[in-house]
Amino acid sequence: MSGRDVVLVGCGRLGSAILEGWLKTGAVPPERLIVLTPSPKPASEMARASGGRVNPPLDQLASAGAVVIAVKPAIWRAALAPLLPHLAPDAVMVSVMAGVSVAATSEGSGGRAVVRLMPTTAVAQARGVAALWTDDANAAAVGRALFAPIADLVELADEADLHAATAVSGCAPAFVQAFVLALAEAGAAKGLSLDASLKLARGALRSAAATAETGEPLEALIDRVASPGGVTRAGLDAMASGGVSDLAAAAVEAAIRRSREIG
């Protein structure tokens, strides 16, 4: 793919995050970027200002080596159809859509090679994580080239594993943030101002993220804070008795079920 353009189809939340990560890291030089979006977005305008092309004539797509499909799963066929006659036969389709299989994307793109990824929106800060699967070695190399600079890549053994990966990584930031919000609201119920409680809970989230990035086992990180008989251990015991593991399992199962339904 060296020297060839990269097309980003869709500039919603995830598409914008990917674009911001590329611009931040230089993973894709701006002059090689083609962004297709139905309406201007801050990220697309940033790309334009840096030398990228936003909604150029479609004949410019002929130079593309990769097409990143970042639209909603319900509309991807309609979004891709007018582009296909202008794409080179060896252009790799890079799908970040939940639930849409490699086989379906390949069939809908004229038999082109496909790699699927499920990145988190922290790719905008080049601190994301992304699950990757494909059965094509060249497509895998394209996926790595585009996403390794902005995310930790986890390559999966089976495409079916992407449903669980979507739940555990793609959806999980919202799950974790919902729990942090609940902690803040619990603190406010016990006398803290909501503003103070939110600041404390957000700070705790940052601290947890910083220690998690060390790579130490999570059990060891928990034990470092939770002394036997201490305050933290009492809270953890209450969480366990309240079914926190069951809640996590239910959230993952619901996300997997929906991912399969979309597909």
Contact 62, 82 (CB under 8 A): no
CA distances from 131 to 40, 54, 154 (A): 29, 28, 5
Q: Using CB atoms within 10 A of its CB, is residue 202 exposed (0-12), middle (13-18) or buried (19+)?
A: middle
Question: Are the folds of 5-158 and 172-262 the same?
Answer: no
Residues of the chain short of pLDDT 70, as ranges, are: 1-2, 263
| Digit-coded pLDDT (tens) for 157-183 | 999 999 999 899 888 889 999 999 999
Strands 128-133 and 114-119 come out as: antiparallel
- Name beta bridge partners: 60: none
Task: Let me know if domain 172-262 sits in CATH 1.10.3730.10.
Answer: yes
At residue 99, the pLDDT reads 86
Structural element, H or E, at residue 155: strand 151-155
Q: Where are the domains of the chain?
A: 5-158, 172-262
Asked if 116 contacts 162 with a C-beta cutoff of 8 angstroms, the reply is: yes
Per-residue model confidence (pLDDT) at position 18: 98
The yes/no answer on whether domain 5-158 falls in CATH 3.40.50.300 is no
pTM of the model: 0.85
